[in-house]
Amino acid sequence: MKKSLLVSMSVLSASAMTMTIMTGSAFASAKHSSAVTTIDWAASPISNVGIRKALIQLFEKTHPNIHVRLTSQPTNTDTNRASLATEISGGSATPDVFMGDVVWPGQFASAGLALPLNHYFPKSYFNSFAPGLVQGATYKGKVYGAPFFMDAGFLYYRKDLLAKAHLPVPKTWEQLANDSKVLLKKHLVRYGFVWEGASYEGLTCNWMEYLTDAGGQVFNAAGKPVMNSPAAVKALTFMRSLIASGVSPKSVTTFQEPQAMNVFNAGDAAFLRNWDYAWSNSQTKGTSVVGKVGVVPMPTFAGKKGPGYGNIGGWNLYINPHSKNIQADVTFIKWMTSVQAQTVLASKYSEIPTNNQVQHDPKIKKLNPVLAIVGSEHLVPRPAQSPNYPKVSSAIYQNVNAALSGQVSVQTALNNANSQLASASSSSSL
């Protein structure tokens, strides 16, 4: 490993440079011979594998002068980022357009890996998106990504179990814990609540929800880390109590989405915190919970105005600053975020559209219960407006996970997180 790390760093960047030279000349000759522009779109598989190709086909039908070539990226978001960063930082002109996580703008903008879009799109274009999304793609006053499809944390619950025990759908965290305890006492289910508690990005997403519900923040308005506030203590103490009281299994500290999903689909949990895809995933043949699942916005803490906060996830479309086909890239992105494409995304593939008009279309809302409640959920972004967001996030999830697995106390974990957040914001650190 040690050697391959060294080698891959330099070899990959070297090969990326050769690729630039090669593709550069290829494009030059292509332009002379025909009027068709080929652009390369790098995207990881979207939950339904056929989406990318279906959208490309629709786009090419109405835009015969632009040919889109799909480069399939790794499904692991970190590996995807590593591969894009290696290509683009090496000066490669491809991919022209890439699909990237909503938490990338700060890091990609400061590393010169994404083109600021303001110059190429009219102001009115950015007003077509659901509120908050463009702000999330903005770094130092410039927009770096066009919101493509969005995601958020939702609370999934077992309708049949709650009915059996005559319990209401929980609107607060306390109620969720109590409902779970009742169900466990009656031996109706093995576990109360499953969520994502492993030491990885997904825990940062879960954490943002509890923290914001409790009234806390990661950074204050002045940019100072404030993750050791009383609100943060309340949030983390509650998360720990879920495990200590048996509402959540001890192994929740090793769960990513698939593990939490498996437990819920097997009928072993009453509640699940997960993203948009969990709806269709739980309703596919072969799970034990078909027809028994309901979905609502996340709960909040007792005494706060509900509903609770759902963390924003999803993907943006970015342009490679070295792209030789920026006009075609812009046309492609405009179409992908248009009413037509977004309607296909939502109606055929149940992705949450970013286009405000489509998101609020009553016909779309009727399609499935997740699309119906998106508009009513409170959304909170992760603190991604920093070029060092990956370090910010690992400072959060590593320490929260350490507290959840009982290695350190709540206060120690939050103090450690806070001091790591302070050093994460400095230019160079590990």
Partner 1 sequence: MVSPALLFVALVTLFPIGYSIWMSLNHIQSSTNGFQFSFAGLSNYKIVFNSPLFHQALIFTIVYAVVTVLVELVLGLLVALAINQPIKGRGFAIAIMLIPWTLITVISAQMWGYIYNGVYGVLDYLMQSLHLINSPIVWLGTPNLATISIMIADVWKTTPFVTMILLAGLQLIPSDLYEAAKIDGAGAFRSFFSVTLPLLRPSLALAALFRILQAFGLFDLPFVLTGGGPGTSTMSIAMLAYKAIFNDFEYGPGTAVAVITVLIILIMSLISIKAFRAQVGEVEE
Site residues, partner 1 (CB under 8 A): 1-3, 5-7, 9-11, 13, 78, 81-82, 85-86, 89-91, 107, 111-113, 191, 198-200, 249-251, 253-254, 259, 262-263, 266, 268, 321-322, 388, 390-391, 394, 398-399, 401-402, 404-408, 428-430
| Closest to partner 1 by CB, 113 or 296 | 113
| Closest to partner 1 by CB, 222 or 430 | 430
Minimum CB distance to partner 1, residue 54 (Å): 31
**Bridge partner residues of 246 (DSSP):** none
| Closest to partner 1 by CB, 375 or 406 | 406
Minimum CB distance to partner 1, residue 13 (Å): 8
| Closest to partner 1 by CB, 44 or 388 | 388
- Please, which residues have CB within 8 angstroms of residue 118's CB and are 6 or more apart in sequence? 142, 143
| Closest to partner 1 by CB, 240 or 322 | 322
Give first-to-last CA distance, the chain, whole Å. Answer: 19
| Closest to partner 1 by CB, 228 or 399 | 399
| Closest to partner 1 by CB, 115 or 373 | 115
Minimum CB distance to partner 1, residue 430 (Å): 4
Minimum CB distance to partner 1, residue 209 (Å): 20
> Helix or strand or coil: residue 69?
strand
| 227 closest CA partner among 420, 4, 21 | 420
Minimum CB distance to partner 1, residue 144 (Å): 12
Minimum CB distance to partner 1, residue 378 (Å): 29
> Helix or strand or coil: residue 192?
strand
Distance between CA 195 and CA 187 in Å, rounded? 21
> Please, is 251 exposed, middle or buried when counting C-beta atoms within 10 Å of its C-beta (0-12, 13-18, 19+)?
middle
Minimum CB distance to partner 1, residue 391 (Å): 5
Cis peptide upstream of residue 95 (ω within 30 degrees of 0)? yes
| 383 closest CA partner among 252, 213, 251, 201 | 201
**Bridge partner residues of 146 (DSSP):** 317
| Closest to partner 1 by CB, 196 or 351 | 196
Minimum CB distance to partner 1, residue 119 (Å): 14
Minimum CB distance to partner 1, residue 427 (Å): 8
Distance between CA 174 and CA 168 in Å, rounded? 13
Per-residue tokens: 214: 């409790």
Minimum CB distance to partner 1, residue 255 (Å): 8
Minimum CB distance to partner 1, residue 132 (Å): 25
| Closest to partner 1 by CB, 110 or 338 | 110
**E-strand stretches of 102-186:** 138-139, 142-143, 146-152, 154-158
> Helix or strand or coil: residue 352?
strand
Contact 270, 158 (CB under 8 A): yes
Distance between CA 183 and CA 322 in Å, rounded? 57
- What is the residue-wise DSSP string for 63-109? -TTEEEEEEEPPSSHHHHHHHHHHHHHTT----SEEEEETT-HHHHH
| Closest to partner 1 by CB, 171 or 322 | 322
> Helix or strand or coil: residue 319?
strand
* Strands 154-158, 269-274: pairing kind: antiparallel
Contact 267, 160 (CB under 8 A): no
Contact 169, 236 (CB under 8 A): no
| Dihedral over Cα of 103, 370, 278, 72: its sign | negative
**Tokens 């995933």, located at residue:** 281
| Closest to partner 1 by CB, 180 or 342 | 180
